[in-house]
Amino acid sequence: MNTIGRHVSQPKDLVRASDRLSFLYLDRCVVNRDSNAITATDERGTVHIPAAAVGVLLLGPGTTITHQAITLMSDSGSTVVWVGERGVRYYAHGVSLARSSRLLLAQAEAVTNTRSRLRVARAMYEMRFPDEDVSTLNMQQLRGREGARVRRVYREHSERTGVDWTSRTYDVDDWDAGDEVNKALSATNAALYGIVHSIIVALGCSPALGFVHTGHHRSFVYDIADLYKAELTIPVAFDIAASSCDDIAGEARRRVRDALHKGKLLQRCTRDIQRLLLGDEADDKTGDDYFEVDVLSLWDERHESVPGGVSYRSDT
């Protein structure tokens, strides 16, 4: 028992992030291990994937994974996330892809300082509204701009599809109380939250430390998801409402799944999060180095950090 509790696997030489498959999605198969590769087996046969070449393994419905495969993924510096079909819903995750806490520390430092928090919030709004100058706006002004812009987006898609639109209303405890377009919006947004949550935990960030949203365990998830709603979930929701389908929730999941896959949201969201938290440091070289660093240091109030694994005993 003590031996198991004290065992720590030694880090291996890891493949650079730029040379990995950023995200690999598997469903309806058995995932096992064969030497340094994970295997995916279904009725069509078995596929071998080098574990060190995978950044994040997304396990969809119908997958079974062995303990040996999980161990290999962990030793390879990869993470495993249990998700819905095509990565649409987030359920749980294993070890983070990040071997350094640098991105998490950058997030925590930025969110706990008023100036840096406002800087990141402004950057988020700039990404959503690239044709507007928000560099001098405070949070109240930013919220006002956002409200006006989002209402305009709703009106535009209402006119495009012919779907009546009054306001965004929904009851989390009563799905049937909403009209078709509000049901579709709730379903498409839930799907978007799932994939964004998966990316955030895979990068080693905290889903709770939001910049615009606050006080919720998924505040940062809502921050990042808002970057993509106007171009992804809102138009899909209005299209669904216009089609008068019987299964709004199911159709929403399928359409969002296809839209996210086509738009390569996984890779895009990863770059956006790094750019928001690291700023000018989020270039290709720094991004790769960040994920592959495996250094344990000790905090020091004068020098910020000192090397770990060193005896600092003083005989005085």
Residues 67 and 171 in one domain: no
Q: What is the pLDDT of residue 170?
A: 77
Within a domain: 108: yes
| 62: pLDDT strictly greater than 90 | yes
Q: What is the pLDDT of residue 280?
A: 75
Residues 246 and 217 in one domain: yes
226 known member of a binding site: yes
Stretch 5-18: mean pLDDT: 44
Within a domain: 20: yes
Residues 52 and 181 in one domain: no
pLDDT tens digits, one per residue of 129-173: 888 899 899 999 999 988 899 999 999 999 999 999 998 887 777
Of 23-27, 82-86, 136-140, 175-179, the least confident: 175-179
Residues 71 and 121 in one domain: no
Of 14-23, 47-56, 210-219, the least confident: 14-23
Of 40-49, 156-165, 192-201, the least confident: 192-201
Q: What is the pLDDT of residue 201?
A: 85
Q: What is the pLDDT of residue 288?
A: 44
Stretch 47-70: mean pLDDT: 90
Of 28, 84, 83, 85, give the one whose Cα is nearest residue 56. Answer: 83
Residues 43 and 177 in one domain: no
Within a domain: 43: yes
Q: Which of 182-196, 253-267, 293-307: highest mean pLDDT?
A: 182-196
Instruction: Give 106's contacts (C-beta < 8 A, 6+ positions apart).
Output: 277, 278
93 known member of a binding site: no
Q: How many domains does the chain have?
A: 2
- Dihedral through CA 276, CA 282, CA 288, CA 291, nearest 10? -40
| 175: pLDDT strictly greater than 60 | yes
Residues 127 and 164 in one domain: yes
Q: Which of 50, 83, 116 is the last residue of a domain?
A: 83
213 known member of a binding site: yes
Compute the C-alpha angle 36/41/47, nearest 5°.
Answer: 55
Cα–Cα distance between 193 and 131 in angstroms, integer?
26
Cα–Cα distance between 180 and 284 in angstroms, integer?
43
Distances (CA, A) of 39 to 19, 28, 64, 93, 252: 20, 13, 11, 19, 31
Residues 275 and 180 in one domain: yes
Residues 78 and 106 in one domain: no
Tell me the pairing of strands 54-59 and 21-26.
parallel
3-state secondary structure of 93: strand
Instruction: Give 142's contacts (C-beta < 8 A, 6+ positions apart).
Output: 121, 122, 125, 134, 212
pLDDT tens digits, one per residue of 216-263: 999 999 999 999 999 999 999 999 999 988 888 889 888 988 888 888
Residues 136 and 36 in one domain: no
Is the entire prediction scored with pTM above 0.85? no
Which CATH number covers residue 76?
A: 3.100.10.20
Whole-number average pLDDT of the chain: 83
Q: What is the DSSP secondary-structure string of 261-307? A: HHTTHHHHHHHHHHHHHHGGG-SHHHHHHHHH----EEEETTTEEEE
Q: Which of 88-97, 108-117, 243-252, 292-301: highest mean pLDDT?
A: 108-117
Percent of the chain past pLDDT 70, that is, above it, reads 81
Residues 200 and 262 in one domain: yes
Within a domain: 112: yes
Radius of gyration of the chain (CA): 22
Q: What is the pLDDT of residue 212?
A: 94
Q: Determine the structural domain holding residue 26 and report its residue range.
A: 11-83
Which CATH number covers residue 128?
A: 1.20.120.920
Within a domain: 182: yes
| 100: pLDDT strictly greater than 50 | yes
Q: What is the pLDDT of residue 254?
A: 87
Residues 134 and 208 in one domain: yes
Within a domain: 299: no
Q: What is the pLDDT of residue 20?
A: 52
Residues 162 and 212 in one domain: yes
What residue type is assigned to position 89 of the chain? R
